[in-house]
Each structure stands twice: as structure tokens, then as C-alpha cells.
Chain A
């Protein structure tokens, strides 16, 4: 049937609705996703940048202060004063009283020899000559020098700060050692979260501090090389499943680079959670839309189907009844046209009979033959008259009316139409019409059509040699309705089909024979007349239709 058409329509509705609701929803979801993502990322970067800058400033400040202290000492004292280790010890103690940054301090002449030393490694260092050390060369040329971290003679990571003073044509150096622990402390504060890291590399990409994860002090870090960074650089790297954000900022003196590493995945935890929740909401939304769309389209197409069926049914009713009306008109017209000549034939025959009855005619030797002929003509006229009168009544009944009718009469007339067909197929129709049925006010034409449909179906069902029992009666138990029972001994109706036989377009006949509307129309006619049709069927035994007509 048309269900394929409806299926396509339904699919179309589903796809259209899904398309037009998914696209905005997805667009919204993705936009929010990316905006959120980039916003969070930017904020993350900004935080790291600020942290990096503040740490760098702290380190710079630390260096500046230490340099300032040393320069102040060098320039407020003469070499002679500081050569005196006792005096130097006093100065050193004053410095240390405020901060314990320095490990030791020494005064070195331009040839690299210690003039004075104050600190814990007196024995080890007093005799050392630095003339060939790199730092010595550097400080002699640049006047202020901060070294990289090194182990030196004492096997502890440290670095030195040295300043020069030019006095009386002689250059001398004030040198202090600083334990790198202090730098370590500042850097450690830059380690964010559980996986964040912070460290300093020098220009050779050698670690100056001890990072948590990124390598060992005085070795190369296992991170990308940031040693040549100038100023500030933010960089994202993916390495073995981790997504890291690096902030590298250069410290001008010494030429170090502070590197902060942040595990983006760890930082984005809340974002990922939000995105996960958003994704869930999106999926739920899509699911709801999908379900809603399917349900809506289903109810829509079902409604459409129902409306179309109903329309087809009523259309067919209209067509059917207009067909019947035309048929009725034609029947009446033909009957009328036949009646006139028939009346003449009848009259002529009657006149002949009148003449034959006269005495002189009775003497004719063929009188009996004439008499027989005329009697037969009259009988045939009478027979034709019954037919034309029935046609006239049939025609009249095709006009929709409400009249007081005898159900038995209508049934008998209907059966008269089907008699020949039944006879040809050797089908026996036995009718047992109840006596004293009350007359009912109803539309006899429509009732006739119902009888015609159902008896016609019965004739089709029983086939050659079948039997159809028709019974009418007055059922006092059912509101005093008149019942018409049409029972056949055909093959019966299968159980699964029994509930559908009144549905429009349901047919067991081929498309050329049945429209599948006969019973459906009958059902609606009887319902409209206030009655009811019931059906009972047993496979192999036959089917019984009962039509109830209300007495009003």
C-alpha cells in the first residue's frame, strides 16, 4: 500500500528535523568548547608567564643585592684594610648578621693569589691560585662577574660573585661564594602542582638547579633546549603523552634562563571535567532530540495516514453513493421507458382476449391456440412488469431518505438481485425471515447496500455448491433491535485477519476484484444508521455476520 511512501516521508521529516536541530546544537557546543578551551589556555599561559616573571625578578633582585653588597664593601674599604683577615672577618660577620647568603669571602690580587679569606674552607682554599681559572679572566675584564653553578674544590654546588676595585694602579678582586641552595629555594617556588617543574639552565643548557623531574644538576635537562632564549618565551610541547607548557625567561647576569614547566593536562583537569560534562549534556540533548523527532514524526505520519484513510473511505462512500444514485436513475429511466410499450402490449393482448371471448371467434378452429398465446403474452407482460416495478423501486431507493421500511422487504429485494448469480454458481440461499418485525425508520437504500455487500461477499466465499443461511428476527434482549444474520459455510476468516476485515483497503481478493472497501463502507453505514455489525468466524466452518438495525 502507501506505507512505503509514508516511510520515506517519515525518514525525510526525521532527517530534516535532526539536521536543522543538530547543526545549531553542535555549532553551539563546539563554539563553547573551543572558546572555553582557548580561554582557559590563555589564562593558564598568563598565570605561568606572571609566575615566571616574578621568579626571574626575585632571582635578579637577589643577584643585584649581592653585587651591591660586594661593590659597597670593595669601594668603602681599601685593599690594605681588607687584606687584614681579622678586619675582613668583621665585615663578613656584619653582612652575615643580616642574611646568610654568603658562604665565604676572599680578597684576591691581580695575579690570582688569595690575599685574605674568610670562610669554612680556609685550609683548602687559602693557597689556591686562580690565575688560570675562567672566572678570574672574566672578572678582570668585566669588573663584575657571576659564575655558573659549579662543584669547585669543595664538591658542593655553589657559585661565585666577584667584583674588582682599581686602587693605586692596582686591581684587586673581592670574591664571595654563594650556596646555590638559595637560588634553589627561589626556583622551587615556581614548581606548580604535582607535575610542574622549575629549573635554571645556563647558556650551554646545563642545569644550574635541581629540578624535580627534568634531570640532574650540572647535566643537560631532558626538556627542549631553552638556553638561547632572550627575554620571555612561552612554548607548548607534547612529549610521550604529556602536554607541557614551558615558560622560559632569560636572566641577563649571569646569562641564565629560568624555565618553568607546567603539566597542561593536570592544569586542565577542571576544564576537561567541564568539557566532559558539556559533552554529556550535548549527547543527552542529541538523544532527546532524536527520540522526540522519531516520536513526533511517527505520530505525524500516523495521523496523516489515518486522515488519508478516512478521506479515502469517505471519498469512496461519496463515489459509491453517487454511483448508486446514477445507477438508480438509469434503472428508473429504463423501467419507465419499458413500461409504456409494455402497457400497450398488455392492452393489445387484453383486447385480443376480449375479442376471443366473443362467440363468433370461439368457433375458430385455432381458438385454443390463440387463447394460449394470449395467456402467455399476458403472463410475460406480468413478469416484465414485476421486473420494471422492482427496478423503479430500486431507483427510488437510491436517493438518500429516511422512511418507514420493512427490513424483510429490503432484504428480499436485495436477494432478488443476487438470485441469478447464486443460481449460476449453484449456491443455495435459504432465508428464514422473522414474522412481525416492527417497521423501522431508516435509509433503505443504504441498508440495501449493506445487505448487498455482505451477501455478495458470502457468495464469493462459499463458492460452487455453497450454502447461505439468512435469518431475520426481532431481538428483544438487545434494546429490541432487528437483527439480520447472514451465515455462510465458506472457508471462514483466519483469526489474524478477523480483526482487520472492517479496515479500509483490507481485502483477500485480488486488486481487480475488490477494493477492500465493501465491509468498511457497510460498517460505517450501519454505524451511521445507529446499528452495529458483528462477525464470527471459524476456519473451515464458515462465517456469520449479524447486522443490528435499531427500531426508532
Chain B
């Protein structure tokens, strides 16, 4: 598997920790953040290929964070992670430029598949840019 850079954003610290460990174990360059602000700070110092973003977070929520992320790094692909059944927030995310949305809990392999596809699209988009 190609090594790409992943940013996991979720307010559940246990979730972030574990998923980062598992992704790293699979050879990805994964970094976790427990809030929108922290994620944006991390993005200052490092470029990411794909971000996985929880929709519902205290403080700065997923949609807001997504908007900021797309403003700063338009080429970074974002997968929305929703624990809520509302299609609306997912659709809203898509409208704001998210790659897709998945419902929690999601088996890691499914998520990984989504991330790989997102990364591939990013590569295509970048190729087009040049």
C-alpha cells in the first residue's frame, strides 16, 4: 500500500488513538487530532492527503472545520464520519467538497478503502493542476 498522509479528527480520544495506531500499523502516515482547532493547527505544519473528520464535535464542529480545511488546503480530500443518521449533514459535507461520508462505527477495512480511493482522486486532481 502506498504510504500517504492521513489526518484523523474526532473528539473521542480513544477512538483517535486506536485508529491512528492501526493505520500506522498498516503503513500509513497517520496523525490524530481531538478537535477542529487542533486539526487546523496541525495542518499549518504538515500537508495531509486525506482527512477523516467527525461531523459532531464540541467546539468547532465537523462542517465548520471542513469549510476551514477546504479554504486552506483545497486539494486535501476529506471523508466525513458521522455517528448520526442524518443524511443532511452528510449531504451538506458533500456540497462543501467532502469526498464521501461514512457512518460510525465503520469497519477499518471499509474506511481504508474509502481513504485509498480519496487519495487516488487527490493524485488525479493534483496531476490536473500541474
List the A residue with the shortest CB-CB distance to B25. Answer: A354
User: Residue B72 at the A interface, CB < 8 A?
Assistant: no
Q: Please tell me if the beta carbons of B107 and A346 are within 8 angstroms of each other in the complex.
A: yes
Task: Tell me if A's interface is mostly helix, strand, loop or mixed.
Answer: helix
The interface on chain B, measured as residues whose beta carbon lies within 8 A of the other chain's beta carbons, has a size of 20
Tell me, rounded to whole Å, the shortest Cβ–Cβ distance linking A219 to chain B: 123
The closest CB in chain A to the CB of B106 belongs to A343
A76 at the interface (CB under 8 A from B): no
Asked if A336 is an interface residue, CB under 8 A from chain B, the answer is: yes
Confirm or deny: B104 has a beta carbon within 8 angstroms of a beta carbon on chain A. Answer: yes
- The verdict on B67 contacting chain A, using a C-beta distance below 8 Å, is no
Residues of chain A in range 384-416 having any CB-CB distance to chain B below 8 Å: 385, 389, 391-393, 395-396
- On chain B, the residues within 8 Å of A344 by CB distance are 12, 14-15, 18
A354 lies within 8 A of B22 (CB): yes
Q: How far is the CB of B9 from chain A (nearest CB, A)?
A: 14
Taken residue by residue from 73 to 107, chain B's Cβ proximity to chain A (1 for < 8 Å, 0 otherwise) reads as 00000000001111100000000000000011111
Given A339-B105, A354-B22, A385-B105; A348-B85 close (CB under 8 Å): no
CB neighbours (8 Å) of A340 from chain B are: 12, 15, 83, 104
A381 near B85 with CB under 8 A, answer no
Could you say which interface size class chain A belongs to?
20 to 34
> Contact: A347 with B84, CB < 8 Å?
no
Are A343 and B84 touching (Cβ within 8 A)?
no
**Which residues of chain B come closer than 8 Å to A345, judged between CB atoms?**
105
Complex CA distance for A343 and B14, rounded to whole angstroms: 10
Q: Is A480 on the interface with B (CB-CB < 8 A)?
A: no
Assess A347 versus B104: contact at CB under 8 Å? Given A336-B84, A339-B83.
Answer: no
Task: Give complex CA distance A346, B84 in Å.
Answer: 17
Interface residues of A in 418-471 (CB under 8 A from B): none
B105 in complex: contacting residue of A381, A391, A392, CB < 8 Å = A381
A350 at interface by CB-CB < 8 Å: yes
Asked if B28 is an interface residue, CB under 8 A from chain A, the answer is no
Contact status A350-B108, CB under 8 Å: yes
A349 closest partner in B (C-beta):
B18
Within 8 A of A (CB), among B18-33: 18-19, 21-22, 25
Cβ of B85 and Cβ of A343 under 8 Å apart? no
Contacts of B103 in A (CB 8 A): 339, 389, 392
Provide the bound-state CA to CA distance between A342 and B19, in Å: 13
Contact with A along B6-19 (1 / 0, CB 8 A): 00000010110011
Question: Contacts A348-B14, A350-B18 hold; do A339 and B86 have CB atoms under 8 A apart?
Answer: no
Q: Does A335 contact B (CB under 8 A)?
A: yes
* Docked pose: A340 CA to B105 CA in angstroms: 7
In the assembled complex, how far is the CB of residue A334 from the closest CB belonging to chain B, in whole angstroms? 11
B85→A396 contact, CB < 8 A: yes
Instruction: State how many angstroms separate the Cβ of B95 from the closest Cβ of chain A.
Output: 19
| Cβ contact within 8 Å between A347 and B85 | no
List 6 A-B residue pairs with CB atoms under 8 Å apart, sorted by A's residue number. Answer: A339-B105, A344-B12, A344-B18, A347-B19, A393-B85, A395-B85
Q: Which 5 A-B pairs have the closest CB atoms?
A: A392-B85, A343-B105, A347-B18, A339-B83, A346-B105
